[in-house]
Structure 1
């Protein structure tokens, strides 16, 4: 795989991330209009599915690349076709420059001949390496904390640990085992202990730990893209809403007891900085935001959601149609972004027009 191919794939992935985010936002805006405002599990499924779509689309495009190139299914050929049909007017040379702009940028960056390209690539590589190293260090610290904790109970491959180094319950996983880590002080409040374990078990059922690992693994590549941070914030918000909604609807704890448990956990975390180092990769009872203001805001929204929403289950058919729509739009976008593999008839016509214009210019100058 050439450097040009790698860079083109990277650019396509960032564009698809933006498109998927826009489509998902539009679908989310439609949900309240059809009575699905409180379908947080469906929304979380749709959002996670959109992320999966970004990964699957390049595979499908590769499988159908021969067919798409044969039928000129890309933005470049479509623009040229509309130009030749007279649907819009533009100087042919400028049109060719515009169509080749991305290819020129890719060639400039991968060649590393200019100082700008060298600074850009060097800065990106340095930040990516630093973020990757930071993730490894966090994983190592988390592993050390798990080893220093003592076992309270295990159910199958779920191990419930107790630690004096944390101030808030959280869950994480290894290759084969899943862990729920409980602060020592929580053992003195049996109801809080049950709520915390139930909460983290629900995160396991929703596959939130795996998605958290996946999102953090993407950070060294997408750290520069604002859409990535919007996406992560939406995922972390919806997974808590979905988890809270499921527990409140299915358990006998009641909304009051559940909210009081969240408030005590938040106050306990505010008094201690011990759990901040285990923020990643894990999912906590109360989200470990970078700022205290963000944490309070999310906790307030969670409490309001539980007291205002009534657990609308929504329609599986609507969720399936929404998922198909997102996949279809993202897949179509990924197909249209592909570079033409061969010179089509329309591209040859455009090249001929450009050559004729240049010859006409030369003849006028020679006269």
Structure 2
């Protein structure tokens, strides 16, 4: 197997694992909602980030496990390949289809991979062109958005410095947002906020909380992955859930401070939204830099197939008024997310191809050859009367 084949297999496995993890996450959330158990948003965000890390570490986990199998440290009976399990079930009579059809079914993925990588005619060429076009288009958009963000930061006025954090004032930014470069983190504040010290204080608390949570780094990571997973709806579902929990967790953390008045904070969000909508209408070419490689206080522009900014703002305020959310002990919280993480790893392991021809595979190949031989020999025989 060539390196390109291995890379494409890892890519397909990551997409499938991400789809499984997103489905499992939504199922668990639905179950908790039915049971009337609501976890605090900071805990949910931590779970989601942990699961995302497990997903993208799964290829390394799989490689280590396969190496342990190859060196006989782990017995061969503990191979978790779904293909091997299907072959074993077929040999035991659990799958009732012709042997040649079953072998053909097992080789669908290999044929698809070969067709795509060799630009085979038909579906292989179409998929290859689709992926190359998508990678190029979304990669180009990402580069343009990073350049645009750099221009926005360069046009801001320096205000204050605190370690590696730079506070900047902008005359054009619709809403406050946080971003980062290679060396520094940035908090961009619309200049209009200087005339409302109360709102300015709340906004700074909100943006600094984003920096403490590492939200900007997670957003950059997700944006860098978008060109690779541009076609996968589960990636957008995951990203949307991260964005939702990120803002709710930040709001929750800020309002836990006894010095922060909940009503004043909600009114601040409303005023910031009104100012952002007004400024965006006034701009002839609205910038979207606050949604790329940065974390904004709130959204003030519509996004395709997503809830409207007004609805999101209402949901945030409603969530702040909820008081029945649980903050479980760290050990209990770990036990809650552990089954999903284990299921994600097991899914990644089950997708792997067998390292070599196993005894079951050889038996299946022998059955296929015997069936073919019987078919050939039956051509010269007279039909029974």
TM class, shorter-length = over 0.9
User: Retained in 1: the 8 A contact 2:112–2:124?
Assistant: no
Count of matched residue pairs: 367
Q: Which moved more, 1:144-153 or 1:269-278?
A: 269-278
Q: What SS does the corresponding residue of 2:56 show, helix, strand or coil?
A: helix
Give runs of aligned pairs for residues 150-229 of structure 1, distance below 5 A. Answer: 150-229=157-236
Query: Which residue in 1 is equivalent to 2:288?
Result: 277
Correspondence 1:1-367 to 2 at 5 A = 2-32=3-33, 36-68=37-69, 70-71=76-77, 72-273=79-280, 276-278=287-289, 279-291=291-303, 294-310=308-324, 312-367=326-381
After superposition, what is the alpha-carbon deviation per residue over 1:243-264, rounded to whole angstroms, capped at 9, x for unaligned? 1111111142212111111111
Go from structure 1 to structure 2 and tell me whether the alpha carbon gap of 1:250 and 1:32 turns closer, same or farther (over 3 Å shift): farther
Paired with 1:338 and 1:11, the residues of 2 have a C-alpha distance of 11
Q: 1:198 to 1:311 in 2, by over 3 A?
A: farther
1:93/1:354 contact within 8 Å kept: yes
Q: Which has the higher helix share?
A: 1
- 1:123–1:112 CA distance, 2 compared to 1 (3 A): same
CA distance in 2, matches of 1:352, 1:96: 11
Q: Matched residues in 1 for 2:324 and 2:177: separation?
A: 27
Deviation at 1:311, TM superposition (A): 5.3
Mapped contact 2:39–2:326 kept (Cα < 8 A): yes
Distance 1:348 1:123 in 2: 37
- What's the TM-score once normalised by structure 1's chain length? 0.95
TM-score, normalised with respect to structure 2: 0.90
What's the offset of the Cα at 1:119? 3.0
- For 2:106 and 2:292, locate their aligned partners in 1 and report how far apart those are by CA, in whole Å: 42
Question: Counterparts of 1:269 and 1:212 in 2: how far apart (Å)?
Answer: 21
Q: Which runs of 5+ in 1 are unaligned?
A: none
Greater Cα shift, 320-329 or 113-122: 113-122
CA RMSD of aligned residues (A): 1.8
SS of residue matched to 1:171: strand
Secondary structure at the counterpart of residue 220 of structure 1: coil
Q: Does the 8 Å contact 2:277/2:300 carry over to 1?
A: no
More displaced 10-residue stretch of structure 1: 287-296 or 175-184? 287-296
- Return the offset for 1:7: 1.4
Q: Are 1:168 and 1:284, in contact at CA under 8 Å, matched by a contact in 2? A: yes
The answer to whether the 8 A contact 1:53-1:327 is kept is: yes
